């Protein structure tokens, strides 16, 4: 894949994470990554940091094998006509814009254009994202496209109809865990620990728990491994059960999915 040319439109967190991941995994060399952003300062900053080439939008579109659209969804209506003017049939367009469906992209830039839709999450910054990806019928190089996103973590090929559920679980998921971690910090502070010590303890606890999940043991079984009968963990879990925490989490994720559906319309 070292010879592919990737254009990234949007140099924010996700665009930058993808560029840096492609370089770190040696999937691309810097001179074959093209950057474009309406914020010239962002574009120059990422170009300077990575060695990737900052270009105008037309040059990016004409020079790339893969175009990754990493802008805000509300900017898409202005961007798509510009892409449509310059794109060729061989170039794959990959959108990572929340709520923008493959059919919408094809409607703007041509029904026969190869289009993929990908949904990474914030952990892309650390090369630890999980990314869902779906394709239209015109994509012939699926493995190369998947390889681009393997540069920032794991990839799950998924039927597009499941993207709203994926968004609710994986896209929003880090925030749920951060919320739990923040609550644990507040509990530790309330019990007399300094905030710095509480943060250190919780940070390492979350990191260690994630590593334990890497062993392939399902989360429910890991709960049992921690919770000794009659012990401290069991006492806490009883409060979770009594106050319906599982139901709250399930309802919250479902609400996030419903909002994703609304945004896609």
pLDDT tens across 123-172, in order?
999 999 999 999 999 999 999 999 999 999 999 999 999 999 999 999 99
- Tokens representing residue 117 in the block: 């839709």
**Per-residue model confidence as pLDDT tens digits over 214-255:** 998 999 999 999 999 999 999 999 999 999 999 999 999 999
Q: Are 32 and 5 spatial neighbours (Cβ–Cβ below 8 Å)?
A: yes
Whether the model clears a pTM of 0.75, i.e. scores above it, the answer is: yes
Least confidently predicted of 107-111, 126-130, 160-164, 185-189? 107-111
13 and 115, same structural domain? yes
pLDDT at residue 2 is higher than 60: no
Give domain status of residue 12, yes or no. Answer: yes
Q: How many domains does one find in the chain?
A: 2
Residue 115 burial (CB count, 10 A): 26
What sign for the dihedral angle of Cα 71, 152, 201, 235?
A: positive
Residue 127 vs residues 6, 15, 123, 160, 184: alpha-carbon distances, Å: 18, 13, 6, 23, 26
120 and 37, same structural domain? yes
In sequence order, the 6+-apart residues with CB closer than 8 A to the CB of 186 are none
Give domain status of residue 1, yes or no. Answer: no
Domain coverage including residue 190: 171-264
d(CA 250, CA 175): 15
Residue 183 burial (CB count, 10 A): 11
* CA angle (185 as vertex; 196, 245 as ends), nearest 5: 170
35 three-state secondary structure: strand
d(CA 20, CA 13): 10
Hey, which residues does 157 pair with through a beta bridge?
A: 133
Give domain status of residue 166, yes or no. Answer: no
Which letter does DSSP use for residue 207 in this model?
Answer: H
43 and 95, same structural domain? yes
pLDDT on residue 74:
86
Place of tokens 């739990």: 180
pLDDT-based confidence at 178, cuts 50/70/90? very high
94 and 193, same structural domain? no
d(CA 139, CA 124): 24
């Amino acid at each position: 894949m070292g010879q592919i040319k990737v254009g990234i439109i949007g140099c924010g967190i996700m665009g930058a994470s993808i560029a840096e991941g492609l370089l770190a995994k040696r999937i691309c060399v810097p001179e074959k990554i093209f950057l474009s952003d309406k914020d010239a300062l962002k574009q120059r900053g990422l170009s300077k940091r990575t060695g990737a080439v900052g270009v105008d939008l037309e040059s990016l579109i004409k020079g790339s094998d893969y175009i990754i659209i990493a802008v805000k969804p509300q900017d898409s209506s202005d961007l798509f006509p510009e892409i449509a003017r310059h794109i060729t049939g061989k170039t794959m367009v990959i959108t990572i814009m929340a709520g923008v469906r493959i059919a919408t992209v094809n409607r703007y830039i041509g029904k026969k254009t190869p289009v993929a839709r990908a949904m990474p999450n914030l952990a892309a910054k650390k090369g630890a994202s999980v990314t869902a990806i779906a394709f239209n019928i015109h994509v012939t190089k699926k493995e190369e496209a998947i390889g681009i996103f393997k540069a920032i973590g794991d990839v799950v090929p998924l039927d597009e109809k499941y993207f709203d559920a994926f968004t609710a679980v994986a896209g929003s998921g880090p925030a749920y865990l951060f919320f739990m971690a923040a609550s644990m910090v507040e509990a530790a502070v309330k019990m007399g620990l300094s905030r710095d010590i509480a943060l250190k303890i919780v940070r390492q606890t979350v990191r260690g728990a994630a590593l334990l999940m890497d062993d392939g043991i399902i989360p429910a079984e890991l709960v049992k491994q921690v919770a000794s009968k009659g012990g401290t963990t069991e006492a806490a879990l009883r409060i979770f059960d009594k106050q319906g925490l599982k139901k709250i989490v399930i309802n919250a994720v479902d609400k996030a999915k419903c909002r994703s559906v609304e945004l896609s319309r």
